[in-house]
Amino acid sequence: MALKTLSAKAAAALDKELMSTGAFSLDQLMELAGLSVSQVVYRVHPVNKGRRVLVAVGPGNNGGDGLVAARHLRHYGYQPSIYYPKRPKNGLYQRLAKQLEDLDVPFVDDFPTALQSADHVIDAIFGFSFSGEVREPFPAVIHAMAESKIPVTSVDAPSSWDIEEGPPKSGVGSNFHPDFLISLTAPKPLIKHFKGRHFIGGRFVAPGIAKKYGFDVPAYEGVDQIVEVGPEELKL
């Protein structure tokens, strides 16, 4: 099966449709996305490879996915910590943060220092809606992830990458190449620039909606919320 990519514009329209005619709430979509992210980390970095997972959380939905993933990882036996410098006042994000606080998951203020004692990193800063310049305090965070030898899993898009064109030609993120990427619902065009292991998470999309947006739902196995795909399975 050749899996098609979904542009940023189409991905935004799909999200809207899922929350209207699809009858999903934002909370549900975020929970499903975060669960998928947690399964990727469990697959590529099992607990016995190191429990300390540092989650870099942005101010939007991508960050929410990271908060959900951290909660699931805590229940799997990991020791997540959260870097969350730009907390929105939206009640959904406040609830997700409170759930982590109740599990004694620490929130850290200094990302480079926290990175030194991490075994794995989740990049949940920016997703498919990102465009323009990377604003403070995230340039230093992306630079630290790019320079570190610690494996990184990016959520939907490596932060700072253009959804269509991939990594910036220069500046922040031009040397950021995460080890793992989970595309939510369907891959984005930037995947042609990605060289690591690639997963898709979207085991909730109705066939009719997938058909309308021109992508195929991959064959998930058993209770998996994710499926690993190689470059040969993508229609770029």
The two three-digit tokens of residue 32, written as one number: 């499903």
How far apart CA 201 and CA 198 sit, in angstroms, is: 10
* C-alpha torsion sign, points 122, 132, 176, 190: positive
Give bridge partners of residue 53 from the DSSP assignment: 80, 120
* C-alpha torsion sign, points 187, 163, 40, 15: negative
Nearest 5 degrees, angle CA 219-CA 201-CA 105? 145
Do the annotations mark residue 58 as ligand-binding? no
Do the annotations mark residue 123 as ligand-binding? yes
Do the annotations mark residue 27 as ligand-binding? no
How far apart CA 225 and CA 36 sit, in angstroms, is: 5
Do the annotations mark residue 63 as ligand-binding? yes
3-state secondary structure of 161: coil
Would you state the torsion angle of the CA atoms of residues 1, 157, 202, 37, taken in this order, to the nearest 10 degrees? Answer: 120
Do the annotations mark residue 109 as ligand-binding? no
How far apart CA 43 and CA 6 sit, in angstroms, is: 25
Do the annotations mark residue 162 as ligand-binding? no
Do the annotations mark residue 196 as ligand-binding? no
How far apart CA 231 and CA 236 sit, in angstroms, is: 9
Among left, alpha and beta (phi > 0; psi -120 to 50; other), residue 77 is left
Do the annotations mark residue 156 as ligand-binding? yes
Do the annotations mark residue 133 as ligand-binding? yes
How far apart CA 93 and CA 91 sit, in angstroms, is: 6
Q: Enumerate the known binding-site residues for K(+).
A: 62, 123, 159
Q: Enumerate the known binding-site residues for (6S)-NADPHX.
A: 61-65, 127-133, 156
Q: Enumerate the known binding-site residues.
A: 61-65, 123, 127-133, 156, 159
